[in-house]
Amino acid sequence: MIQIIQLSNFIVSLIFFAEVLFFKVELIVIPVLFLLAFLVTLIILFVLKCSHKPSHLYGHHRNEKDDTQHHHNTHRHRNSNRRHLQGIDGNRQTDRQTDLTFFYFFPHTESASARECQSFLGFAHFLSELGSHPSLPRLLGVVTVQTPLMIAVEELEHRDLLSFLWRCRQDHTGQEAPCDMTERQIFTMGAQIGSALEYLHSKNYIHGNVKARSVLVGRDLSVKLWGLGPAYRRKTSAGSIEYVGDMEMRKWQAPEASARQPLQQSSDIWSFGILLYEMVTLGGPPFPNIIASELLQHLQRVNTIKRPPNCSNTLYSIIKSCCQWKPMDRVSLAELIRKLQSKEKSTNDQAVLRVSEPFDMEKYMREAGYGESLNYTVL
- pLDDT of 92 reads 43
Q: What share of the chain is helix, strand, coil (3-state, %, to 5)?
A: 45, 10, 45
Same domain, 162 and 293: yes
Planar angle of CA 117, 122, 126, nearest 5 degrees: 150
Same domain, 273 and 235: yes
* CA–CA separation, 111 and 148 (whole Å): 12
- pLDDT tens digits for range 290-348: 988 899 999 988 878 999 988 999 999 999 999 999 999 999 999 999 999 999 998 87
How many angstroms separate the Cα of 374 from the Cα of each of 83, 257, 291?
21, 15, 11
Is residue 231 within 8 Å of residue 205, measured between CB atoms?
A: yes
Same domain, 226 and 267: yes
Is residue 190 within 8 Å of residue 200, measured between CB atoms?
A: no
Is residue 169 within 8 Å of residue 262, measured between CB atoms?
A: no
* CA–CA separation, 249 and 131 (whole Å): 27
* 42-46, 81-85, 207-211, 279-283: segment of lowest average pLDDT: 81-85
Counting the structural domains of the chain, the total is 2
Same domain, 192 and 280: yes
Same domain, 142 and 263: no
Q: Which of 138, 155, 172 is the last residue before a domain boundary? A: 155
Instruction: Write the Ramachandran bin of 204: left for phi over 0, alpha for psi from -120 to 50, otherwise beta.
Output: left
Non-local (6+) Cβ contacts of 317 within 8 A are none
Same domain, 218 and 354: yes
Q: Which of 105, 140, 155 is the last residue before a domain boundary? A: 155
175: in domain: yes
Same domain, 133 and 197: no
* CA–CA separation, 166 and 109 (whole Å): 35
Read off the amino acid at residue 224: K
pLDDT category of residue 93 using cuts at 50, 70 and 90: very low
Is residue 129 within 8 Å of residue 49, measured between CB atoms?
A: no
Same domain, 350 and 209: yes
Same domain, 226 and 164: yes
* 65-69, 100-104, 211-215: segment of lowest average pLDDT: 65-69
CATH number of domain containing 123: 3.30.200.20
Is residue 232 within 8 Å of residue 87, measured between CB atoms?
A: yes
pLDDT for residue 377 is more than 50: no
Same domain, 226 and 126: no
Q: Which of 155, 179, 205 is the last residue before a domain boundary? A: 155
Top-confidence range, 42-46, 66-70, 162-166, 246-250: 162-166
pLDDT category of residue 283 using cuts at 50, 70 and 90: very high
Find, among 219, 337, 217, 333, the residue nearest to 279 by Cα: 217
* CA–CA separation, 355 and 342 (whole Å): 26
pTM summary value? 0.71
10 alpha carbon, distance to own chain's centre: 84
77 alpha carbon, distance to own chain's centre: 13
CATH number of domain containing 258: 1.10.510.10
200: in domain: yes
- pLDDT tens digits for range 182-240: 999 999 999 999 999 999 999 999 999 999 999 999 989 999 999 998 999 888 876 45
286: in domain: yes
Range of the domain at 117: 64-76+90-155
Instruction: Write the Ramachandran bin of 45: left for phi over 0, alpha for psi from -120 to 50, otherwise beta.
Output: alpha
* CA–CA separation, 379 and 243 (whole Å): 9
N- to C-terminal Cα separation, the chain: 120
37: in domain: no
10: in domain: no
* 13-17, 215-219, 261-265: segment of lowest average pLDDT: 13-17
Non-local (6+) Cβ contacts of 197 within 8 A are 207, 210, 225, 268, 272, 333
Tell me, letter by letter, the H, E, C secondary structure of 199-254.
Answer: HHHHCCCCCCCCCHHHEEECCCCCEEECCCHHHHHHHHCCCCCCCCCCHHHCCCCC
Is residue 336 within 8 Å of residue 269, measured between CB atoms?
A: yes
